[in-house]
Amino acid sequence: MSFQWYRTLDQDGRRAFWTSFAGFGLDSMEIQLYGFVLPVLLALWGVSHTAAGALATVALVSSAAGGWLAGVLADRIGRVRMLQTTILWFAIATCLCGLARDFDQLLLARALQGLGFGGELAVGAVFVAEIARPQVRGRMVGMVQSGWAVGWGLAAISATVLLAVLPPDLGWRVTFLVGLVPALLVFAYRKRLRESPAFLSMSGRSSWRGIFSAAQRSTTMKGCLLATGMHGGYWAIATWWPTMLRAERGLSLMASSAYLGALIVGSFFGYVVGAWLGDRVGRRATLMGCATGGIVLALCCGQLPLADTMLILLSVPLGCFATGMYSVIGALLAEVYPTESRGSGLGFCYNFGRAAAGAAPLLVGGSVAAMGIGQAIGLYVAGAYGVVLLAAVLLPETRGWSLKGLSDAS
């Protein structure tokens, strides 16, 4: 699993890689914090599981609008300017979450957080895909997205420490506030970025309507289907896994952190392995392999009475399969759209899927009383990854494709 591709990058390429990696990491850290403070909010505010699911859902739904809008603007004013905007927006909105005084204020802050969350990932994936060479695009985009697992780990560590040493009513607030300083540092670093050559050489006028044209409509529908299944499975796990460990397994905050650590370690290797496989065996085969593995493990973890030791062992490959497909989708969606509508297309598909997947945390929360958290997670994850299998069959194999402009694609 060679990293020779990184050594071929010039200074601008490495700067693009690391600033996107850091942005994805902060994006993950700040959005994932909700899953860790959720048990505290359930106790402090006395909200129902359905209301708690709504707080997760609203961020995912608003991220659809944020991701598409950011993608459209990235096609008009540039990738770099939008990346500078999204990191600031997201950091400020996360701070507002920590300052919320009641459920309604937190709901609004989560909606604002989702707008920046969707934009950061959509524009960052396009930017890195346009910097990379076709032969290593999957690895470069996938490795950038591994920053998500790093951010997830930072969220677990910071939340565990802060919630353990601070009073609950203060700890959850401080947990949301810790990401402001690193976000400002990333913003300052992005002031030194250069725009991607693909955007600078764009000859046609950008138009978000192009992704719904006769030539691209089918691609957009298939991309939305893929993103819906991928996000649906992941967010059912990410939102409810910490609560399942504590409420159903009876684990303490510190003990449950070990199980989450196994899931997060697996997710990091999922990004790395998925990135490598996407370039070696193809985008479709990688997606199908990860989806199949995710279905089997989700059903095992959710439906079988596993011992705690077996659960922690299976959490590693479950995390691996859940994120391996994320390494593929960024490169695949960048490759199927021309430069003039690449940001709009990737932003719409990726975030339409996230909005549709926003129903997963809500549905899991609403099913807890009937079947328990573990069984609800297992069933919804398996169903979501079945959708990924269908989308992988319908989409073309794009490994090795060169990025094209509108005139080349027509």
pLDDT tens digits, residue range 102-133?
889 999 999 998 888 888 888 988 898 888 88
Q: Under 8 Å CB-to-CB from 167, ≥6 apart: which residues? A: none
- In angstroms, how far is the first alpha carbon of the chain from the final one? 36
User: Count of H helices and E strands in the chain?
Assistant: 19, 0
- Name the residue type at position 82: M
pTM: 0.76
Instruction: Locate the domains of the chain by residue range.
Output: 12-191+213-397
Range 12-191+213-397 classified under CATH 1.20.1250.20: yes
What pLDDT, on a 0 to 100 scale, did the predictor assign at position 205?
65
Tens-digit pLDDT profile for residues 314-325: 888 988 998 899
Token pair for 89 = 């927006």
**Overall size of the chain counted in residues:** 410
Which ranges of the chain have pLDDT less than 50?
407, 409-410
Q: How far apart are CA 45 and CA 117, in angstroms?
A: 25
